[in-house]
Amino acid sequence: MRCKHCGKPLNQSQYAQGGALKSCPKCSVEDGEEHIFYSYPGAYGQSEKRASASIPDGAQSWCTLCRGDDYGPHYGGRRCSEVN
């Protein structure tokens, strides 16, 4: 599925506002229409185990709530059409 606003895949994280916001692939797929963004890194966290050439800061892919099996979208999430 693709975002109705930007056309990019919902299951791939996107960044907005200079990296201050990151989309959660799980929340975005659950929404089914647009990427759902939360503050980054606050709503995600980072892990050395996830660090790689493409993700040097080790950003977690899913937001903290989704990683705890509380699938969103969650309160405070911002839609792609609101941030891009």
Nearest to residue 22, comparing CAs of 48, 61, 57? Answer: 61
Distances (CA, A) of 17 to 21, 39, 65, 70, 74: 6, 10, 22, 26, 19
Do the domain assignments include residue 30?
Answer: yes
Do the domain assignments include residue 8?
Answer: no
Do the domain assignments include residue 25?
Answer: yes
Do the domain assignments include residue 4?
Answer: no
How many domains does the chain divide into? Answer: 1
Do the domain assignments include residue 45?
Answer: yes
Q: pTM here?
A: 0.89
> For residue range 39-80, what is the model confidence (pLDDT) as tens digits?
998 899 877 777 667 666 778 889 999 999 999 999 999 999
Q: Which DSSP state fits 52?
A: -
What's the domain range around 48? 15-83
Do the domain assignments include residue 61?
Answer: yes
Contact 11, 1 (CB under 8 A): yes
